[in-house]
Amino acid sequence: MPRSRAPFRADQVGSLLRPAALKEARARLHAGTESVDELHRVEDEEIRRIIRKQEEIGLQSVTDGEFRRSWWHFDFLKGLDGVEGFEAQAGIQFHGVQTRAEGVRVTGRVGFSGHPMLEHFKFLKANTKVVPKMTIPSPSVLHFRGGRKEISSTVYPQLDAFFDDLARAYKKAVKAFYDAGCRYLQFDDTVWAYLCSKEQLQLARDRGEEVEKLPRIYADVINYAIADRPHDMVITTHVCRGNFRSTWVSEGGYEPVAERLLAGIDYDGYFLEYDTERAGGFEPLRYLPKGKKVVVLGLVTSKSGTLESADAVKRRIEEASKFAPLDQLALSPQCGFASTEEGNLLAEEEQWAKLAMIVDIANDVWK
């Protein structure tokens, strides 16, 4: 059956390719030949355009494409109290390429006392006729990427206090977005996929992390943050293996974290990448509790413009339904199309074709 509550049978992760007009406006701002106000005018215009496009395709929820951001995570995290951006020694290492050398670090008590993205959401809500969806990074992202090294030991001699403050900050963020009218909020999260990667686990051990303790800690922080959300607010997560210029960071199936993630965290839905063998099989879906939770299968890749076979996608949905009820499944791209402003290596028309195909497949599978 179709769904009237998010996540929807045909859904999307969040980010969309930045159009040329937006990239050019931002370049002029950086060159000093354009004002911030003019950039905002272009952002508003382009966001209205993609809202209409998403609605025309038939999506039941729309995003602003993350058009006002440079990064999927840093832009939000830098808006938290006690967190600042900095120029790093090196970028994040993906397969064959590095990102820009930027990062975030904790220099004070972590808190939430307002955020520019609240206004970003209000603009989205005011300009759509369907459900506006807001995406923010999961709280676990603030810790895992830099670990202890990027958290002031003067402010937080013990990390227990950091995680307590982080959980409280996100609880305030959830309430603030709800008060702004948000009923569909998503925590984007690379960490659970990294916890399935032998390489990433070893890198975390090398920098001194007790990785065996992290799943419980992260689950506790997330559950505290979302526990008091009102009944009409949906909170989902997207588990990502890295998405920059069509490359990735980690690989490994969900088995090591599936039970805690699917049954132990109180999310309403899970956007899980399943576009390549790097994600493993569907067997971990057996941990999805029977009931209202939904797994959104990321079977359509956002990393290339080649359009998948609709029949092949339908067969994979059928395969997944052997481990979780079809009524608790949905379909989306494997990730966003532009987790950073650079975007993946495909054309805008290819992006829209993939989203339209997802709507068509969902209409066929869940009549």
Residue 217 has what pLDDT? Answer: 97
Does residue 179 fall inside a structural domain? yes
Does residue 151 fall inside a structural domain? yes
Q: Under a CB-based contact definition with an 8 Å cutoff, are residues 323 and 227 in contact?
A: no
Q: Under a CB-based contact definition with an 8 Å cutoff, are residues 297 and 320 in contact?
A: yes
Q: Rg for the chain (alpha carbons), in Å?
A: 19
Does residue 82 fall inside a structural domain? no
User: What count of other Cβ atoms lies within 10 Å of the Cβ of residue 47?
Assistant: 24
Tokens (6 digits) for 201: 């686990």
Total domains in the fold of the chain: 1
Does residue 219 fall inside a structural domain? yes
Residue 94 has what pLDDT? Answer: 63
Residue 200 has what pLDDT? Answer: 86
- Which residues constitute the domain of residue 212? 20-70+116-365
Does residue 110 fall inside a structural domain? no
Nearest alpha-carbon partner for 141 in 177, 195, 185, 100: 195
Does residue 294 fall inside a structural domain? yes
Residue 249 has what pLDDT? Answer: 76
Alpha helices in the chain (DSSP H): 20-31, 36-57, 74-77, 116-126, 139-144, 159-179, 191-194, 198-206, 214-226, 258, 264, 310-320, 348-365
This prediction has a pTM of: 0.96
CATH of residue 149's domain is: 3.20.20.210
Does residue 358 fall inside a structural domain? yes
User: What count of other Cβ atoms lies within 10 Å of the Cβ of residue 129?
Assistant: 9
- pLDDT (tens, 9 = 90+) of the chain, 367 residues, equals 789 999 999 999 999 999 999 999 999 999 999 999 999 999 999 999 999 999 999 999 999 999 999 988 999 999 999 999 998 777 666 667 767 768 999 999 999 999 999 999 999 999 999 999 999 999 999 999 788 999 999 999 999 999 999 999 999 999 999 999 999 999 999 999 999 998 889 988 988 899 999 999 999 999 999 999 999 999 999 999 877 667 757 788 999 999 999 999 999 999 999 998 989 999 999 999 999 999 999 999 999 999 999 999 999 999 999 999 999 999 999 999 999 888 898 999 999 999 999 999 999 999 8
Q: Under a CB-based contact definition with an 8 Å cutoff, are residues 274 and 334 in contact?
A: yes
Does residue 209 fall inside a structural domain? yes
